[in-house]
Structure 1
Amino acid sequence: MADEQVGATRSLASKIEWLIQNRWPAGSRPPRNNVDVAAAISEATGEELSSTTIWKLRTGRSDNPQLKTLKALSTFFGVPIGYFGDDEEGDETADQIAASSLVGKSGLNREALRALVEMSDGGRQLVADFIISAARLERGRSKPGG
């Protein structure tokens, strides 16, 4: 998640967008649009969601969905419903899910995580600083004119 949001609660829209981009079920065709997202969630959970609902949630035009909508999202993406909370606990849950999603992707595996745990506080801080710097650099490259 973006480091600009550290210390501030992440929006529901950013959490849902992160799930769509990073926790889409393996083996399922990636969604091309909100119609695809709504159809996949509805089919998998039995809870009828409209593409308009998905659009409103993804864009932040709606930040207070019905409980049944949150349950459907939670079930589909395999996250606890607390993930969607707008408090520190929700953000901690989101951080844990993001961390667990990295295991096995892009070379970050259990061995790398164990090595990180075994490092000194200074070593872990150095790694954290490097990750934040690399993320900023990548964000700058992905922006037009960056």
Structure 2
Amino acid sequence: MADEPLGVASSLASKIEWLIQNRWPSGSRPPRNNVEVAAAISEAAGEELSSTTIWKLRTGRSDNPQLKTLKALSAFFGVPIGYFGDDEEADATADRVAASSLVGKSGLNREALRALVEMSDGGRQLVADFIISAARLERGRNTPTT
């Protein structure tokens, strides 16, 4: 998943893991395990999810959950249900989810986004290249050495 574009994951497991890591409700302590993930989603969405269901989804052992499970995940993480699909529309939805997750985090705000929109194509490409290079550098630093 490290080489996948931000927010665009190739599998349901990757998408759910991305949501847990990047869209966990602010002000809430990040979950330590699948029991805490299941409990938080169950409480907020009003749909009982087991820790086993969460484990199966996160590990890819289940890639065809019930609609009620997808609705609970969608409601909890505030994403359209189409995010969980595996087609081009789902990829576009994942891109929008990733972009909306950035607003307000780490200094990226609406003003910065407006400035990016107002830049020339060349300027936007320069910023995009810089972001990709910085992300690769960070991934390299976070990779454990043996």
With the length of structure 2 as denominator, give the TM-score of the two structures: 0.92
* 1:36 and 2:36 correspond: yes
How many residues align? The count is 145
State the shift of 1:46 in Å: 1.7
2:82 aligned partner, one-letter code: G
The answer for the alignment partner of 1:97 in structure 2 is 97
* 1:66 and 2:51 correspond: no
1:10, 1:116 → 2: CA distance? 27
The answer for the alignment partner of 2:106 in structure 1 is 106
1:135 aligned partner, one-letter code: A
Q: Secondary structure at the match of 2:36?
A: helix
In the alignment, is the contact (CA less than 8 A) between 2:9 and 2:15 conserved in 1? Answer: no
In the alignment, is the contact (CA less than 8 A) between 2:2 and 2:139 conserved in 1? Answer: no
State the shift of 1:111 in Å: 1.2
The answer for the alignment partner of 1:51 in structure 2 is 51
- What are structure 1's unaligned runs of at least 5 residues? none
Moved beyond 6 Å, runs of 4+? none
1:35, 1:9 → 2: CA distance? 24
The answer for the alignment partner of 1:10 in structure 2 is 10
State the shift of 1:114 in Å: 0.9
The answer for the alignment partner of 1:138 in structure 2 is 138
2:96, 2:84 → 1: CA distance? 13
Instruction: Write the deviation string for residues 89-142 of structure 1: whole angstroms up to 9, x where unpaired.
Output: 111111101101111111111111111111111111111011011111111111
- What are structure 2's unaligned runs of at least 5 residues? none
1:119, 1:99 → 2: CA distance? 17
1:114, 1:3 → 2: CA distance? 27
The answer for the alignment partner of 1:27 in structure 2 is 27
